[in-house]
């Protein structure tokens, strides 16, 4: 499982035999530290064994969470497809009514982010994630039966309540299984479902609209009902395919379980147990880490683009191709999402190989900046359609990068749960803003919406570069600290509660 490199922090005059016993204790999680006081791993792992384990985890977990998130995003964004199919007209929505319906979703979506992620830790991801999947599937089906704005707002509020926990919950769940360098790419394997949902959602909506009816339902009602039923089925299946943590995975051998636990612990300074109990100090460390706050703000800015694109892409395409039929307009939304999906996987894959995230914050933002300049500078349909490809290419990868970056820069499980929840909560304020970014009176060129997104993508570039400079500077400052002196007189519990404030901790850009 592991090669025992002789570390002066652990190997003393008692010799190699005792050290190897300690290595097994570390792997089994029996209260031993997996790093020295400087955060350096005490165990050197077999790369081939790690590779085999990683592939096994990929095959057992990623497909399920990816399908869950695909239909989460479809159930959220299919209202844009329903709008083209007569949703507004049938419910008698006028003026800003449609924007109000969209906004109600984000109110509950924002409020329940952190509570939902803490519930995910308390109940266990293997139960919580499937449960909320079934919940928002039921809400999607219920949307097919709404008759007015009041009913639509009520159902969208409940949809937001259940969906609030899925993205941060999956990100937190995967952090129990993957190293810091590996996490961004694995997060991208499910977050890529957001652009694919835009593509697949458009295709699926087009196919559904070709049906004469679905039971007593017709037109836009079929979109919500059919897609909601699929979501419920995925939730039921996931009860049987997800497992809370490596120690409870029936598909891992005991040696593989030990390796899965030990390799994660080896990256967490001062950690004696992988899954700690709720700790208020650690929870606050996660939420108020400077990296969490800045990254959450970046995610908020990016979400104005991503959520706006998901909800208003069909409307934007309609302004570019006003004479095309509804199905043709739906199909035109697909290619930009396909290209965006490609880059959502490519950039995090490169991040995994280079073990770096902030460089991609700086590289992705200019793609969005150029896209929105094209929107503002030209009314040529092909130029504006080309701009949607650039915007999709640069925007969707941020979900994976922001979650991975926050996860990589806290230590404990509690801090990770609260940090990811806080990031997504603040980030989805951007989703709320996006519902008011493309207003009816601003069409067909939408200067306000496109100008807002140009500003947010430019600010993202500046914040990403600034955070990179700060982390580099603070790591150099920490290098000058006498760790032993700084920790003198503190108990093991006090040291663990330091989390990212531990003097041996280093930021991971």
Domain holding 406: CATH number? 1.20.1250.20
pLDDT for position 33: 62
> What is the token pair recorded at 496?
């663990």
Under DSSP, is residue 217 helix (H, G, I), strand (E, B) or coil?
strand
N residues, the chain: 509
pLDDT at 159: 94
pTM for the structure as a whole: 0.77
**Which of 457 and 412 is assigned the larger pLDDT?**
457
- Kindly state whether residue 272 falls inside one of the protein's structural domains: no
The answer on 150 and 26 residing in a single domain is no
Q: Which of 214, 201, 211 is nearest to 144 (CA)?
A: 214
Given this model, what pLDDT does residue 498 score?
77
Q: Considering all CA atoms of the chain, what is the largest pairwise distance in Å, rounded to the nearest integer?
A: 83
**Gap between the Cα atoms of 92 and 208, Å rounded:** 23
Domain assignment present for 213: yes
**Same domain as 260, residue 216:** yes
Mean pLDDT for 263-269 is: 76
Q: Which of 265-269, 282-286, 372-376, 484-488: highest mean pLDDT?
A: 372-376
Instruction: Collapse the DSSP code of 35 into the 3-class scheme (helix H, G, I; strand E, B; otherwise coil) and give the result.
Output: strand
> 197 with 333, same domain?
yes
Tokens of 468: 């990179």
Q: Running DSSP on this structure, what letter comes out for residue 144? A: T
Claim to verify: residue 241 and residue 386 sit in the same structural domain = yes
Provide the pLDDT confidence category of residue 316 given band limits of 50, 70 and 90: confident
**pLDDT exceeding 70 applies to what percent of the chain?**
88
Residues 39, 67 within the same domain:
no
Is 296 within a domain?
A: yes
Query: Do residue 420 and residue 285 come from a single domain?
Result: yes
Beta bridge partners of 2: 45
pLDDT for 271: 62
pLDDT tens-digit series, residues 182-234: 888 998 888 888 777 766 777 777 788 777 778 777 788 888 899 899 999 99
Beta strands in 268-338 (DSSP E): none
If you average pLDDT over residues 358-375, what whole number do you get?
A: 92
CA dihedral over 81, 82, 85, 88, signed as positive or negative: negative
Both 14 and 116 in one domain: the answer is no
Residues 355-378 have a mean pLDDT of 91
> 17 pLDDT band (50/70/90 cuts)?
very low
- Look up residue 211 and give its DSSP letter: S
d(CA 410, CA 287): 10
Residue 199 forms part of a structural domain? yes
End-to-end CA distance of the chain: 29
Q: Is residue 203 a part of any domain in this protein?
A: yes
- Whether residue 21 lies inside any domain: the answer is yes
pLDDT (0 to 100) of residue 13: 41
pLDDT at residue 342 greater than cutoff 60? yes
Burial class from Cβ neighbours inside 10 Å (0-12, 13-18, 19+) for residue 487 reads: middle
Look at 346 and 283; give whichever has higher pLDDT: 346
Average of pLDDT values for 384-389?
86
DSSP E strand stretches across 51-137: none
Quickly tell me which residue has 């006003």 as its tokens. 322
For residues 25 and 50, state if they share a domain: no
State the pLDDT at residue 473: 95
- When pLDDT is averaged across residues 55-71 and rounded to a whole number, the result is 92
With a cut of 90, say whether residue 373 has pLDDT above it: yes
User: Shortest CA distance to 470 belongs to which of 423, 405, 416, 413?
Assistant: 405
Same domain, 144 and 289: yes
Any domain includes 271: no
Mean pLDDT lowest for which of 123-137, 169-183, 224-238, 331-345? 331-345
Domain count, the chain: 2
Indicate whether 224 belongs to any domain: yes
Poorest-pLDDT segment among 324-338, 397-411, 413-427: 324-338
Considering the domain architecture, whether residues 64 and 37 belong to the same structural domain is answered as: no
Of 12, 28, 43, the position where a domain reaches its end is 43
pLDDT beyond 70 at 146 = yes
Do 308 and 181 sit in the same domain of this protein?
yes
Among the ranges given (145-154, 226-235, 291-300, 301-310), the one the predictor scored with the smallest mean pLDDT: 301-310
What is the domain range of residue 101?
Answer: 46-266+278-501
Residues 25 and 86 in one domain: no
Provide the token pair at 268: 């967490």
Q: What is the pLDDT of residues 111-140, one digit of tens each?
A: 898 889 889 888 889 999 999 999 999 999
Report which listed range, 178-182, 281-285, 291-295, 420-424, is most confident: 291-295
- Under a CB-based contact definition with an 8 Å cutoff, are residues 303 and 431 in contact? yes
Mean pLDDT of the chain: 83
Assign 180 a pLDDT band (cuts: 50, 70, 90). Answer: confident
Cβ atoms of 41 and 31 within 8 Å: the answer is no
332-338: average pLDDT: 81
Q: Could you give phi then psi for residue 147, rounded to 5 degrees?
A: -120, -15
pLDDT confidence of residue 212: 73
**What average pLDDT does the segment 55-74 reach?**
91
Section 319-334 average pLDDT? 74
* 281, 50 Cβ separation under 8 angstroms: no
> Which candidate, 310, 311, 455, 441, places its Cα nearest to that of 375?
455
Q: What angle do CA 281, 283, 284 make, to 5 degrees?
A: 65
């Amino acid at each position: 499982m592991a090669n025992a490199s002789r570390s002066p922090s652990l190997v003393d005059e008692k010799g190699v035999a005792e050290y190897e016993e300690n290595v097994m204790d570390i792997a089994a999680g029996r209260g031993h530290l997996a790093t020295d006081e400087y955060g350096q791993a005490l165990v050197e792992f077999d790369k081939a064994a790690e590779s085999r384990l990683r592939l096994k985890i990929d095959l057992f977990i990623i497909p399920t969470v990816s399908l869950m998130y695909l239909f989460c995003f479809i159930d959220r964004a299919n209202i844009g497809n329903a709008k083209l199919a007569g949703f507004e007209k049938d419910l008698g929505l006028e003026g800003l009514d449609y924007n109000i319906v969209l906004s109600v979703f984000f109110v509950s979506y924002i409020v329940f982010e952190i509570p939902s992620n803490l519930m995910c830790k308390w109940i266990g991801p293997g139960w919580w994630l499937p449960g909320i999947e079934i919940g928002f599937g039921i809400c999607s089906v219920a949307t097919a039966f709404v008759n007015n704005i009041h009913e639509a707002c009520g159902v969208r509020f409940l949809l937001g309540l259940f969906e609030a926990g899925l993205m941060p919950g999956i990100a937190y769940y995967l952090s129990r299984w993957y190293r810091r360098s590996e996490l961004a790419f694995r997060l991208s394997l499910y977050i890529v479902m957001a652009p694919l949902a835009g593509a697949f959602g458009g295709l699926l909506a087009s196919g559904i609209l070709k049906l004469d009816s679905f039971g007593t339902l017709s037109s836009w009602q079929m979109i919500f009902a059919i897609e909601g039923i699929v979501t419920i089925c995925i939730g039921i299946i996931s009860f049987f395919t997800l497992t809370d943590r490596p120690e409870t995975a029936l598909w891992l051998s005991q040696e593989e379980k030990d390796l899965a636990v030990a390799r994660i612990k080896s990256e967490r300074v001062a950690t004696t147990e992988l899954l700690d109990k709720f700790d208020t100090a650690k929870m606050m460390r996660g939420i108020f880490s400077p990296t969490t706050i800045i990254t959450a703000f970046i995610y908020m800015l990016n979400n104005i683009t991503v959520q706006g694109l998901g909800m208003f892409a069909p409307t934007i395409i309609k302004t570019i191709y006003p004479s095309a039929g509804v199905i043709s307009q739906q199909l035109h939304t697909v290619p930009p999402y396909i290209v965006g999906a490609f880059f959502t996987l490519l950039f995090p894959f490169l991040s995994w190989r280079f073990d770096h995230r902030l460089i991609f914050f700086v590289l992705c933002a200019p793609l969005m900046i150029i896209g929105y300049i094209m929107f503002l500078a030209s009314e040529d349909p092909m130029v504006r359609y080309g701009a949607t490809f650039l915007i999709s290419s640069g925007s969707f990868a941020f979900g994976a990068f922001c979650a991975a970056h926050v996860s990589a820069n806290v230590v404990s499980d509690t801090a990770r749960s609260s940090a990811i929840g806080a990031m997504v909560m603040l980030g989805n304020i951007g989703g709320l803003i996006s519902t008011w970014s493309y207003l009816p009176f601003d069409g067909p060129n939408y200067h306000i919406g496109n100008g807002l997104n140009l500003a947010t993508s430019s600010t993202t570039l500046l914040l990403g570069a600034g955070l990179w400079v700060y982390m580099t500077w603070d790591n150099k400052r920490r290098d000058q600290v006498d760790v032993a002196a700084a920790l003198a007189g503190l108990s093991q519990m006090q040291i663990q509660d330091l989390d990212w404030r531990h003097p041996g901790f280093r930021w991971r850009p």
